[in-house]
Amino acid sequence: MTQTLPPWHEIVLNVFKANEVKLITYVPDNVLKPLIQALHADPYFTCFPTAREEEAVGILSGAWMAGLRGMLLMQTSGFATLPNVLASLPCAFQIPVMMMISERGTLGEFNVGQAAVCRTMRPILDSLAMEHHTVSRLDECEMIVDRTIRQAIMTQAPAALILSPLLTGGKVVK
Amino acid sequence: MSETTHNLKRMYRFDLTTRLVAKLKQEEAVIGGIGHSNFDLWSAGHRPQNFYMLGSMGLAIPIAMGVALAQPARKTFALEGDGSLLMELGCLTTVATQAPKNLVIILFDNGIYQITGGQPTPGAGADYVAIARACGLTNAAWAADEAEFERMLDNALATDGPHFIGCKLDSQGPKAQTERDPAQIRDRFMRGMGTKKNRTLG
CATH number of the domain bearing residue A45: 3.40.50.970
Confidence of residue B198 (pLDDT cuts 50, 70, 90): confident
DSSP string for residues in B150-194: HHHHHHHHHS-S-EEEEEEB-S---SS-----HHHHHHHHHHHHT
Q: Using the beta-carbon criterion (under 8 Å), do A65 and B67 form an inter-chain contact?
A: yes
Question: Is A1 inside any structural domain?
Answer: no
Asked if the structure places residue B5 within a domain, the reply is no
Whether residue B2 lies inside any domain: the answer is no
Q: Is there a domain that residue B7 lies in? A: no
pLDDT digits (tens, 9 = 90+) for B138-167: 999 999 999 999 999 999 999 999 999 999
Question: According to DSSP H, which parts of chain A are helical?
Answer: 8-18, 33-41, 53-65, 76-79, 83-86, 92-93, 112-127, 138-155, 165-168
pTM, two decimals, is 0.97
Q: What is the pLDDT along chain A (174 residues), one digit of tens a residue?
A: 567 999 999 999 999 999 999 999 999 999 999 999 999 999 999 999 999 999 999 999 999 999 999 999 999 999 999 999 999 999 999 999 999 999 999 998 899 999 999 999 999 999 999 999 999 999 999 999 999 999 999 999 999 999 999 999 988 777
ipTM of this complex: 0.96
Q: Does a structural domain hold residue B1? A: no
Residue B199 lies in a domain: no
A54 domain residue, yes or no:
yes
Domain count, chain B: 1
Contact state of A55 with B94 under an 8 Å Cβ cutoff: yes
Q: Which domain holds residue A146?
A: 8-107+117-167
Helix (H, G, I), strand (E, B) or coil at A138: helix
SS3 A171: coil
Residue A112 maps to a domain: no
Total tally of structural domains belonging to chain A = 1
The answer as to whether A94 is a domain residue is yes
B180 in a structural domain: yes
CB pairs under 8 A between A and B: 125
In a domain, A70, yes or no: yes
Contact B91/A at CB under 8 A: yes
Distance CA A13, CA A45 (A): 10
Residue A173 lies in a domain: no
B66 at A interface, C-beta within 8 A: yes
Chain A residues inside the 8 Å CB shell of B71? 66-67
